[in-house]
Amino acid sequence: MLDIVRSYLEEGKGLVQLATVLLAGVMVLAAWARTRSAMATVAAMVLGALVIGYTLNAEWLGQRVGADIVERENGMPALVGSAVPTVQLGPAMELWLRTAALVLLFAAGAGCVVVLVKVWALDMRSPARACKRGLIRAGWSSVARSAGLAVTRDKRRVPTGTALALLSGPMDKPRKRPAQSARSEQVERLPTLRHGRATASKAAVEYVVKPPRGGSLDDIAARTDHLAAGLGVHQVNVHRVNPSEGRLVVTLDDVLARSRRYPGPGSGVGVTSTGDPLRMPLLGGHWLLAGVTGSGKSAWLAALLAELVTSGVPRRMLGIDPKVVELAPWADCFDRLVVDPEEAGQALAAVHAEVTGRYQLLAEQGRRKLEVPTVEMPLIVVVVDELGELARQAPGEAKTAPQERLRVLSSLAAVGRGAGCVLICATQRPSAQLIGADLRANLTRRVCCRTSDEYGAEATLGPVASVLRPWDIDPATPGVAWVTSEAWPHPQLARSWWLDEDEVAAIADVYPARPPVDPEVGT
């Protein structure tokens, strides 16, 4: 076989062979990149090798037709270099042998290229992390067994004699066999993993997990800590797709352990635990930011404002800052910045009137809601920091004034979305009394940083807070929070980008507030 390959390479045209093999290699890599399927890659590999081999050998065979392929110049058999006499080969047989040799060589070479490309795609910067990904599936069975996810069932086996007797007809003579009793064997079933795919950041791998017969995804979700310890990874999460299939996310390293600086416009508001940017559209929901002092709530607010003002979307921004200092660095970005609670109520009432007028205009135009903000109808952004101060009665103010401000704010949260109004509310003391049921139901994008107790976490996230336990977030990692959204079925652990005062000042200088179309709005 080696002699055939050697003679083929010597007699063939080297450049044509090299170009054809490279073309077939590109076809194989394209099949793998397009389908991410091993079977499709192997099929493309074999097909390309067969086409190449048959094409080149057909040209070689046409040159050899009529020649004596049995004897060479030195009188040796067809396989030159062999000391053992060989069988004479006909042209067709030698053609297929050459094709088979080329298929083997091409398959081996293309297989090595595919493996290298896969390792490079997994993580070109950290081979150790890429190897760890490869070992996850190799050790899955033992880890799942040690985590108690194996389902053992008894399987009864009918004796051979009994089975033959049941298949035998009534006219057959009975066979004398020793009596055998039915046996029961224990069959072990484990959850299966399929289709491992590294995330864009290469910090996590997503698998399709299927529970065994007799098990459930809830059993796997309850053993995520055991699975993470057994696999030697940072975190394992299970997300339900349907009752018989889920998505297993294996996070290799703790990407939230260190803070990351704001990369620039269009990079989202932070990074998730899988290392992917956290991006959400500007329109579509209102925000609630909650967390105690030092938990990173201000970092989330800064990241949100940076992503908002650098988006290039026509906007009109109202800031309500009873504490005076929180929104001061962003003063140039706001069309109006209010620090007095009584004045804040008037500004909220003006925004509510603007939203009502927009709905009337949309109804005249035959539209139900504002899809894309325009210069004539820009995005209205209302930022409130601190929400608790807005609900506090100011000196000389009527007792019903705080409730009226919260009522207007709750009404804006209910009706403002379709008119292009977005609320961003931040508070250090989330509670059921402050964040009423109506307001919380419409603040669909919630960021819960570290809280002082479970009551504040439940007021922000709802009943799922008892499972997520945001009060256990490490104080040494400010900016880490649980994030929920109307677009996600499950909460995500994420960390906001970090912006210092110089970066905020630079953004405010480059992206100042635009003059409003109607000067009476917000006055």
Q: Residue 6 has what pLDDT?
A: 53
How many helices and strands (H and E) does the chain possess? 17, 16
- Show me where the domains of the chain are located: 2-73+89-115, 127-148+186-253, 270-510
Render pLDDT for 395-411 as a digit per residue (tens, 0 to 9).
888 888 999 999 999 99
Kindly state the DSSP code that residue 276 receives in the 8-state scheme.
-
pLDDT mean across residues, the chain: 78
Residue 277: C-alpha distances to residues 248, 256, 268, 304, 487 (Å)? 19, 12, 6, 13, 15
Mean pLDDT computed over 109-119? 62
Mean pLDDT computed over 234-263? 89
Between residues 243 and 73, the one the model is more confident about: 243
Identify the CA nearest to 253 among candidates 201, 304, 216, 329: 201
pLDDT bin (cut points 50, 70, 90) of residue 505 is: very high
Q: What does the radius of gyration of the chain's CA atoms come to, in whole angstroms? A: 35
Mean pLDDT computed over 157-172? 50
Contact partners, residue 448, CB within 8 Å, separation at least 6: 290, 291, 457, 460, 461, 465, 468, 470, 481, 482, 483, 484
User: Strands 421-427, 445-448: parallel, antiparallel or unpaired by DSSP?
Assistant: unpaired
Mean pLDDT computed over 117-145? 67
How far is the C-alpha of 162 from the C-alpha of 177, rounded, in Å?
A: 10
Q: What's the predicted TM-score (pTM) here?
A: 0.69
- For residues 64, 65, 70, 76, the Cα torsion angle rounded to the nearest 10 degrees is -20
Q: What is the DSSP string of 459-483?
A: HHH-TTHHHH-GGGS-TTSTTEEEE
**What is the C-alpha end-to-end distance of the chain, expressed in Å?**
89
Encoding tokens for residue 114? Answer: 């595919």
Q: Which fold has domain 127-148+186-253?
A: Threonyl-tRNA Synthetase; Chain A, domain 2 (3.30.980)
Rounded (10°) angle between helices 127-138 and 91-122: 110
Encoding tokens for residue 60? Answer: 């070689």
Torsion angles phi and psi, residue 332, rounded to 5: -70, -20
Task: List the beta bridge partners of residue 447.
Answer: 289, 483
Q: Is the pLDDT of residue 21 over 70?
A: no
Q: Residue 292 has what pLDDT?
A: 93
Mean pLDDT computed over 253-262? 90
Torsion sign, CA atoms 394, 397, 402, 405: negative
Residue 89: C-alpha distances to residues 59, 86, 92, 94, 344 (Å)? 18, 9, 8, 6, 96
pLDDT bin (cut points 50, 70, 90) of residue 109 is: low
Q: Residue 363 has what pLDDT?
A: 93
Q: What is the DSSP string of 18-80?
A: HHHHHHHHHHHHHHHHHH--HHHHHHHHHHHHHHHHHHHHHHHHHHHTTS-SS--TTS--SST
Q: Residue 10 has what pLDDT?
A: 52
Q: Is the pLDDT of residue 480 over 90?
A: yes
Q: Residue 81 has what pLDDT?
A: 40
Q: Is the pLDDT of residue 252 over 90?
A: no
Number of CB atoms found within 10 A of residue 429's CB: 17
Q: What is the DSSP string of 356-414?
A: HHHHHHHHHTT-SS-SS--SSSPEEEEEEE-HHHHTSPPTT--TTHHHHHHHHHHHHHH
Q: To which H or E segment does residue 303 belong?
A: helix 297-309
Render pLDDT for 202-214 as a digit per residue (tens, 0 to 9).
788 888 999 998 8
Question: Residue 440: helix, strand or coil by DSSP?
Answer: helix
pLDDT bin (cut points 50, 70, 90) of residue 4 is: low
Instruction: Report how far Cα 65 is from the mean position of its chain's Cα atoms.
Output: 59
Q: Residue 69 has what pLDDT?
A: 43
Percent of the chain with pLDDT over 70: 66
Q: Is the pLDDT of residue 355 over 90?
A: yes
Render pLDDT for 457-476 as a digit per residue (tens, 0 to 9).
998 998 889 888 999 999 99
Encoding tokens for residue 458? Answer: 């439940």
Number of CB atoms found within 10 A of residue 38's CB: 11
Top-ranked range on mean pLDDT: pick from 61-65, 241-245, 278-282, 499-503? 499-503
Could you tell me if 271 and 233 are in contact, meaning their C-beta atoms sit under 8 angstroms apart? no
Give the CATH superfamily of 270-510: P-loop containing nucleotide triphosphate hydrolases (3.40.50.300)
Please tell me the least confidently modeled range out of 102-106, 184-188, 332-336.
102-106
